[in-house]
Structure 1
């Protein structure tokens, strides 16, 4: 029997076409998605692009992970479905967005899933800050921005201020556990932080404009 017949000296043919569905495929999709999300952001990443990078059919991405948002949640190891929190925020009137956002987000942090969320944020801050930025501005806050944006103000500066405020609360409450914020009741956190977040969302954040209004110039 020849080497070719026995297989001992045969050269394995190069794989062509799409990767078949298996556990390695799921890992390949996650790795491709992590790279895409970190470099291009959430909004500029498509399921089709992730599939192409992972050399799989786009249908397999949906099969394993569902929507693009669910794929992102898997990439960052988010222990909760962000859609549930986002729906609560979506349902709030614009004038109550600040307190609703604070209540909804802090409720997740204080839940049994909270330690997983904190671990996720710590991990991303240490190694992949681009994912943190994309998660905050393009997943959590983008739908809020779309609601408060106007022709004169796209709301991006407002979202950055909200993100800074909420990250500050997360770090003081859950990471360094600064008292009394660490043990402050949810209602007290909402009452203290909600108005500031609301001002960032719908109030005047331009000091030059405020001065012009006061002076009439």
Structure 2
């Protein structure tokens, strides 16, 4: 009697496992936030092993991007920022984002933003901004101590405003400006938010 060799490939799971994982990931991320939601918890809610979640989606950040239908890995943006000196973040951040938003990939990203803003999953955007973007950048600009998260939120408010005015409302001539021109124009203000003095209220 011979035993059949186990085939290499993905861990065992039913054909609808990927959809169940995404559905439960959206619910848990929206309810608990990014930091407090583990891959293990998503796997348990989906009735699968954690290995299958990693097989389909890779890292937790990549799963989050899939859950809110962002067609890019967040590390596309966060990776280069890690190599950027603090004094250059205000310039580099929009110089990465504007060409990305203007690309074919950005079209899907902005469609997702429009959908989330109009729907009931705005908590997913909040979680992404506060727990992925803010957690990555805030510790580097936390001067005076405790100001880092607020600094990043000011930056996020400006970038969201640019995205809405340029791609959703399409205010002209702003919507038709070259991305490099927009990036260079807003860069000094973003840098002030990140490293300049903040008014004390």
TM-score calculated relative to the size of structure 1: 0.82
Gaps of 5+ in 2: 1-11
Give structure 1 stretches of 5+ with no counterpart: 1-19, 209-217
Q: Secondary structure, in 3 states, of the residue corresponding to 2:176?
A: coil
Say which is worse superposed, 141-150 or 192-201, in terms of deviation.
Answer: 141-150
Q: Report the counterpart of residue 85 of structure 1 in structure 2.
A: 77
Per the normalisation by structure 2, the TM-score is 0.88
User: Are the equivalent residues in 1 in contact too, given 2:141–2:151 (CA < 8 A)?
Assistant: no
Is the 8 Å Cα contact of residues 34 and 131 (structure 2) preserved in structure 1?
A: yes
Assess if the C-alpha contact under 8 Å between 2:134 and 2:153 holds in 1.
no
**Residue 163 of structure 2 corresponds to which residue in structure 1?**
170
The alignment yields a C-alpha RMSD, in angstroms, of 1.7
Aligned partner of 1:155 among 137, 140, 148:
148
Asked if structure 1 preserves the Cα contact closer than 8 Å seen for 2:155 and 2:190, the reply is yes
Task: Check whether the contact 2:91–2:191 (CA below 8 A) recurs between aligned residues.
Answer: yes
In 1, the alpha carbon distance for the partners of 2:177 and 2:193 equals 23
Q: Structure 1: which 4+ aligned runs deviate by more than 4 Å?
A: none
Is residue 48 of structure 2 the alignment partner of residue 37 of structure 1? Answer: no
Q: How far 1:171 sits from its partner (Å)?
A: 0.5
Structure whose CA Rg is larger: 1
1:73-129 per-residue CA deviation (whole Å, 9 max, x = no partner) reads 111111122212211222111001011111111121011111101111011112211
Q: Count how many residue pairs are aligned between Structure 1 and Structure 2.
A: 190
Distance 1:46 1:94 in 2: 30
Task: Tell me if the contact between 1:137 and 1:163 (Cα under 8 Å) persists in the aligned partners.
Answer: no
When structure 1 is superposed on structure 2, of 131-140 and 175-184 the one drifting more is: 131-140
